[in-house]
Amino acid sequence: MDCRERASQVSRASGRLRVEGASASLAGAAAEAGRTTSPGQDCRAPTARPPERSGDHGVPASDGERGSGGTKSPGQEINRRAFLEQAGRFIILTGAASLAWDYVLAGTPQAAPNYVATDHWWGMIIDIDKCIGCGNCVRACKAENDVPTDEPGCYRTWVERYQVRPNDMEHPIVDSPNGAYDGFPEIDKPGDGVKVFFVPKLCNHCAHSPCVQVCPVGATFESPDGVVLVDKDRCLGCRYCVQACPYGCRYIDPRTHTVDKCTLCYHRITKGLTTACCEACPTGARQLVDLKNPADPVHEFMRTHKVHVLKPNLATGAKAFYSGLDGSVR
Amino acid sequence: MRERFRHVEHVFRAALLFVGGFALFLVVRWALVPADFGVYGFYRAGALADNQALPLRYAGQAPCLDCHADVAETRKDSRHARINCEACHGPLARHATGDFEIKPKALNPRLLCLQCHTQALGKPATLPQIVAVDHAPEGPCIACHKPHRPKID
């Protein structure tokens, strides 16, 4: 049901409405509409707003007050005109734009809760030709996300070094000492014609994640913006997802005995920042990509380079795209 | 009347047991399943906010340049211009948000430089690479190269 139908149902249901009921239904309708709103609608919405309404909106003081609209106290009856104005506002400004508009009027647009998860679809592109194996990303990730440095096997991201002999793609020599936290030692005796390259690895944030499918308690999930996250309060530490992940991207945090993994720095990307590993990469080998935002310059990269995902045969919908990936990489 | 239902009493007992069991199930389910579970999918909607609320350690590039525009000017056309400040200076979100007691940690230039510039297989040819013992056995790199503008003019 779209918000138009819903609003008209509300107005049919009773001629004189109470503010509480109206705002609750409308907030619901707006939330529903917000999930299907395109950015274009949001952009032109403010101009479409009736100008005479601009006076009676203060800054919303709390979440509860936000969206109730107007200065009337809860329970107070409103007339048809006020209701239609509110309904019109929610229909035209739909969801997030409506919430943000209060802040725009108050002169603090930066404080508006503008992040709409469904407007994004996050992934990462990794340019293997640019990776120099310095391990800066691994160190940055551990610093940002409080990943244990003294326990073995705790990596949200790590870098592997591949040595591939000519005509022997099936037997590469792979090493990743301490996940490349301290970079790589020199190769002792490189064979003749051996090809060496570095492959940064992280959670592929699969759209159809095997790890999510096996979780018995709903403690791990694909967020609406395409990031595979863990709910640490719900995780039992059963390790089922650790086994299910075909990329080996999960580990058990020895301190909490719950599972931990790359969150694609969800606390950063939702604030408009890039991930810690991308922040620290000196060569730009890793770049965060918003696949739903055509203005993201990384789209140009995706369009002009041949990219590949790991283990495409598993149909996991992986969103870590590798450019220059060798066939020996697993 | 009682006579009439005498032979089906066991059915009522079973039904009562079933209803009681179902009520118990509902109570247990209400107690165990969080209120916001299932809003977006088979997970707790609040977990999204939990993940968003984690503290930042890296501030990002923009706040650095607000104050340190001189450094940006120095490395404007150097090959290190595209490297973010925190890639070398470490995570400094607290410094960037006004806690100036937190200073960038002292860097060991030799270690830091060699992390990238040691000659090794697998690095692209466009990256300047050295063998430290041949190139500069003793001296610190910064005796000749300035990190913000490494090319020697």
SS3 per residue for chain A: CCHHHHHHHHHHHCCCEEHHHHHHHHHHHHHHHHHHCCHHHHHHCHHHCCHHHHHHCCCCCCCCCCCCCCCCCCCCEECHHHHHHHHHHHHHHCCHHHHHHHHHHCCCHHHCCCCCHHHCCEEEEEEHHHCCCCCHHHHHHHHHHCCCCCCCCCCCEEEEEEEECCCCCCCCEEECHHHHECECCCCCCCCCCCEEEEEEEECCCCCCCHHHHHCCCCCEEECCCCCEEECCCCCCCCCHHHHHCCCCCCEECCCCCCEECCCCCHHHHCCCCCCHHHHHCCCCCEEEEECCCCCCCHHHHHHHCCEECCCHHHCCCCCEEEECCCCCCC
Q: Does A193 have pLDDT greater than 80?
A: yes
Give the per-residue pLDDT at A21.
Answer: 36
Least confident span in A98-107, A276-285, A299-308: A98-107
Give the per-residue pLDDT at A125.
Answer: 94
* Closest CB to B120 among A186, A218, A229: A186
User: How near does any CA of chain B get to the CA of A11, in Å?
Assistant: 26
Q: Does A225 have pLDDT greater than 90?
A: yes
Give the per-residue pLDDT at A10.
Answer: 39
pTM of the entire predicted model:
0.73
Give the per-residue pLDDT at A5.
Answer: 45
Q: Does B1 have pLDDT greater than 70?
A: no
**CA triple A28-A227-A144, angle to 5 deg:** 115
Give the per-residue pLDDT at A253.
Answer: 95
Q: Does B146 have pLDDT greater than 80?
A: yes
Q: Does B30 have pLDDT greater than 50?
A: yes
From residue B35, how far is each of A67, A235, B29, B30, B39 by CA, in Å? 22, 17, 10, 8, 9
For an interface test with B, the pick among A182, A205, A223 (most B C-beta atoms closer than 10 Å) comes out as: A223
Give contacts of A 200-239 with B, CB under 8 A.
218-224, 229-234
* Closest CB to B52 among A135, A231, A266: A266
pLDDT bracket for residue B106 (50, 70, 90)? confident
* B81 in contact with chain A, both atoms CB, cutoff 8 A: no
What mean pLDDT is reported for chain A?
77
Q: Does A306 have pLDDT greater than 70?
A: yes
Q: Does A307 have pLDDT greater than 50?
A: yes
From residue B34, how far is each of A162, A224, A261, B39 by CA, in Å? 46, 19, 23, 11
- In chain A, residues with a C-beta closer than 8 Å to the C-beta of B115 are 134-136, 183
Do A326 and A128 contact (CB within 8 A), yes or no? yes
Give contacts of A 145-174 with B, CB under 8 A.
145, 161, 163
* Selected residue with higher pLDDT from B150 and A68: B150
Contact A187 B120 (CB under 8 A): yes
Give the per-residue pLDDT at B28.
Answer: 96
* Selected residue with higher pLDDT from A133 and A191: A133
* A194 in contact with chain B, both atoms CB, cutoff 8 A: yes
- Burial (Cβ within 10 Å: 0-12, 13-18, ≥19) of residue A258: middle
Nearest CA in chain A to B42: A218
What mean pLDDT is reported for chain B?
89
- In chain B, residues with a C-beta closer than 8 Å to the C-beta of A132 are 116, 122-124, 127
Q: Does A24 have pLDDT greater than 70?
A: no
